[in-house]
Amino acid sequence: MSVDFSGRVAIVTGAGNGLGRSHALELAKRGAKVVVNDLGGARDGTGASSAAADEVVKLITDAGGEAFAHGANVAKFDEVEDMVKQTMERWGRVDILINNAGILRDKSFSKMELADFQLVMDVHVMGTVNCTKAVWEIMKEQQYGRIVMTTSSSGLYGNFGQTNYGAAKMAVIGLMNTLVLEGQKYDIRVNALAPTAGTRMTEDLMPEEILAMLKPESVTAGAMTLVTDDAPNKFILCAGAGGYAASKIVETDGIFLPESEQSPEAVLAQWDAVVASEGERELESGAKQSEKFLTKAMQALQGA
């Protein structure tokens, strides 16, 4: 099956370097018109420059594609709105949004300033919210949309020195989970990418020989599967160094305790049953958890 994006319009944030650059180039190579968004700041979010985004646009247009650069700071909604407005004026639709822009301000939680925590949350969480909000009604009206959240193993599993980054990257999973429910009837599909790649964000964190294996292009191969017409929905794809895997949030079947037995001692006494993997499953929504527990309670009452 050939993946083709002819006729599609895509916005890629943080597309001047690293993963975003790779995503933008591949989308354009496969026929999409691409908005190359990049503030052009340093890894910690300071500074600004259009040079990197302009270079990506030149690569696309020199190859016969269509693209333009926009330097919106994704943490500022008015700038994001302007980017989407220019996209609509030029091409009349937005089919794909890859939320990729990000910064790092790593320190142990003890040493981290709250300002550094807030800035990372602003860029990763509110940046993703702002861009998604700016295209949401457009996608609803056109009855089509493909949105990618960029999460991380730091959020899914934890990573020392990245409380701010990990919190932000897990927050976008919560955003995805609810947007999936709200966008379903409009064929808006929302997925998440958990990448491992050698980029500006990781260049001084890993040995050179390892970085050489972690090419952004290998992650992009996975990212493209999340924005096709046949894309999945509510899927967390982990990708890096040629490896591809799914990460899932599951809930065990658990136990039921009658009111007279609802104590910490009773819960601890049945801990093995609480954590038993048999019967665990992914839940379609938070309401399904309530439904499960209430069903257990009703069954217990009926059996009494």
Confidence band for 42, pLDDT divided at 50, 70 and 90: low
Confidence band for 45, pLDDT divided at 50, 70 and 90: low
pLDDT attached to residue 208: 74
Which tens digit of pLDDT belongs to each residue from 118-161? 999 999 999 999 999 999 999 999 999 999 999 999 999 999 99
Which tens digit of pLDDT belongs to each residue from 70-122? 999 999 999 999 999 999 999 999 999 999 999 999 999 999 999 999 999 99
Which tens digit of pLDDT belongs to each residue from 160-217? 999 999 999 999 999 999 999 999 999 999 999 999 976 555 566 666 777 778 899 9
Determine the average pLDDT of the residues in 52-61: 97
Is 165 known to be catalytic? yes
Please give, one letter per residue, the 3-state secondary structure of the chain. CCCCCCCCEEEECCCCCHHHHHHHHHHHHCCCEEEEECCCCCCCCCCCCCHHHHHHHHHHHHCCCCEEEECCCCCCHHHHHHHHHHHHHHHCCCCEEEECCCCCCCECCCCCCHHHHHHHHHHHHHHHHHHHHHHHHHHHHHCCEEEEEECCHHHHCCCCCEHHHHHHHHHHHHHHHHHHHHHHHHCEEEEEEEECCCCCCCCCCCCHHHHCCCCHHHHHHHHHHCCCCCCCCCCEEEEECCEEEEECCCECCCCCCCHHHCCHHHHHHCHHHHHCCCCCECCCCHHHHHHHHHHHHHHHHHHC
Residue among 157, 165, 186, 244 flagged as catalytic = 165
